[in-house]
Amino acid sequence: MKRLAGVLPQSLILILGIAVAHDSGAADGQVEINQLCVATGCFAGDSPGFPVQISNPGSYILTSNLEVPDNQIGIELNGSGITLDLGGHAILGPVECTGPGPSCAGFNSGPIYGISPSPALLTLGDTTIRNGTVSGFFVDCVRLAGFGGAFGILIQDLHVSNCGGDGIGIGGYATIESVTVRNAFGHGIESASVGTIVRDSVFYNNGEFGVNGANCSANIFADNGDATGVGEENCGNHIDDSICNGSICP
């Protein structure tokens, strides 16, 4: 016991050092994405610079914030079967939207999307995005409409804000849960399909509807639609009651 309380054996120090070096925020099997690796490409198939291009199915994790330069996309999805864990980190652009409405500075310049499919991708499927923040983009912060369709999309535990377009653009079949979307110039969530469900989420101070088109369950809406007078939400159906400015949504 005295030896353990004092100087550790060199062999044990070496083992502990290896363990600490290995603990970089990524679990076994997860591919890391961070600001440092973007310059050279974070993994095979990812060209240097933005966007970070994910083409192969698998699990990917942010191990730092990403600050995205003008006229770029943060992360571009070039395939299906992808799980993107933001690891509690943020994908950031410079757009800031404030005040009732809201009004946005940097609306006509800056990064385009935080996360988006490749324009060449016809179908986006079996994709999960979770656990972090996407903020400050001059079109949509997250665009997962797919250019030919989308299915099997899951979005969980995201904070989305300061978007010059919609907070989240989604099409096809998706589940969105436990997200917060605020200060988007357009809709909090714009859905092109009644195959999308949005639940247990919060929408605040978005210029148009908090949710437009999707099915809703147990969401909270406040101060949305002030820019256009459209109201709090335009959900396709209410599965469970949602709250609009303190009362059950009509």
pLDDT at 125 > cutoff 70: yes
Cα–Cα distances (Å) from 8 to 11, 14, 61, in that order, read 8, 10, 34
Strands of 63-165 (E only): list them.
66-67, 73-77, 82-85, 90-92, 96-98, 103-105, 113-117, 124-137, 142-144, 150-163
- Average pLDDT on 89-104 reads 93
Report pLDDT digits (tens) over 169-226: 987 789 999 999 999 999 999 987 778 999 999 999 999 999 999 999 999 999 999 7
Decide which of 15 and 119 is more confident.
119
The pTM is what?
0.88
Residue 247 CB contacts under 8 Å (≥ 6 apart), including other chains: none
Inter-residue contact 232 to 245 (CB < 8 Å): yes
Kindly report, residue by residue over 66-86, the tens digit of the pLDDT: 999 988 999 999 989 999 999
* Residue 39 burial (C-beta neighbours within 10 Å; 0-12, 13-18, 19+): exposed
Q: Are 167 and 153 in contact (CB under 8 A)?
A: no
> In the chain, where are the structural domains located?
27-248
